[in-house]
Structure 1
Amino acid sequence: MTPYEALYERKCRSPLCWDDKSDEVMLGPKMILEMVEQVQLRKYVSMSDSTHRLEPENVKIDQQFSYVELPKEILDRKVKKTRNGETVLVKVLWFNHNVEEATWEAKTAIKEKYLHLFI
């Protein structure tokens, strides 16, 4: 029994036919084109520049296939009032991330680990 069957008590029915060999179906070009249309895979085209290409970012990965997030800069600061007092938050921009993905972190925690951002 597959994990899907154990969890949902029925066989998996997907367009790729991931079930018993008895239900095996040959995927023809027509069926593949229909699946691509359903998934809405489109070629990337920049609105402003048609020659623009997206290049993959170089991320240093260690032997366990992980990497360390490092802060690039502090974008903003704010004070959050709580019942017990005030907490200073900083908006941190991380390497390999866009400005939209910046996160609010406690200033004390960031200052302990990354003092060079505050000098």
Structure 2
Amino acid sequence: MKRRPLEFEIGEKAYVKVSPMKGVIRFGKNGKFNPRYLRKYISNPSHVLEIEPLVVEGNLNKELKYEEVPIRIVDTKKQVLRQRTIPYVKVQWSNHSEREATWELEEKMRKQYRYLFEEKIDSSFEDETLNKEGGM
């Protein structure tokens, strides 16, 4: 199949068709731009999208990111190694369900998020006092 040579004037727009390379790209091999993928493009106003203002919902910052904050401790466990024991806590994070809770080092969580353990201490203290008084 023969193709005629393409010529463009300064200021003209062209549509470039790029297809992915087949196979595995080996070290040192670069893809090449071939002018046969160029076609003359006539501008069409229907191809232009109007920009609408973005409405941000939730607690996102200016970069459209949100900080994941732990909500509560779901479970605890101690991993026993040969010479030491490592305490872990299972943490439920904001914007995630309980099924997506993750195991984190207890020491790290105590340093960064003290309030999680303060609530747990208070509730266990109440349980102990109820047990002593015969409430349960």
Larger Rg: 2
Query: Distance between the aligned counterparts of 1:99 and 1:3, measured in 2?
Result: 44
Alignment check: 8 A CA contact 1:72 1:94 kept: yes
Sequence identity percentage: 28
SS class of match (2:89):
strand
Question: Match for 1:5: what amino acid?
Answer: M
Is 1:59 matched with 2:58?
A: yes
Structure 2 counterpart of 1:5:
21
Structure 1 portions without partners, runs of 5+: 10-19, 23-57
The 1:3/1:90 distance shift into structure 2, 3 A limit, reads farther
TM-score scaled by length of structure 2: 0.46
1:27 maps to what in 2? none
Contact 1:111 1:118 in 2 (8 A): yes
Contact 1:59 1:96 in 2 (8 A): no
Q: CA RMSD in A?
A: 2.9
| C-alpha spacing 1:79/1:64, structure 2 compared with 1 (3 Å) | same
- Written as runs of structure 1 = structure 2, the 5 A alignment for 1:1-119 is 2=18, 4-5=20-21, 8=24, 59-119=58-118
The alpha-carbon distance between structure 1 residues 89 and 3, as it changes in their structure 2 partners (threshold 3 A), is: farther
Aligned length: 74
Task: Mark the CA change 1:109 to 1:7 in structure 2 (over 3 Å): closer, same or farther.
Answer: farther
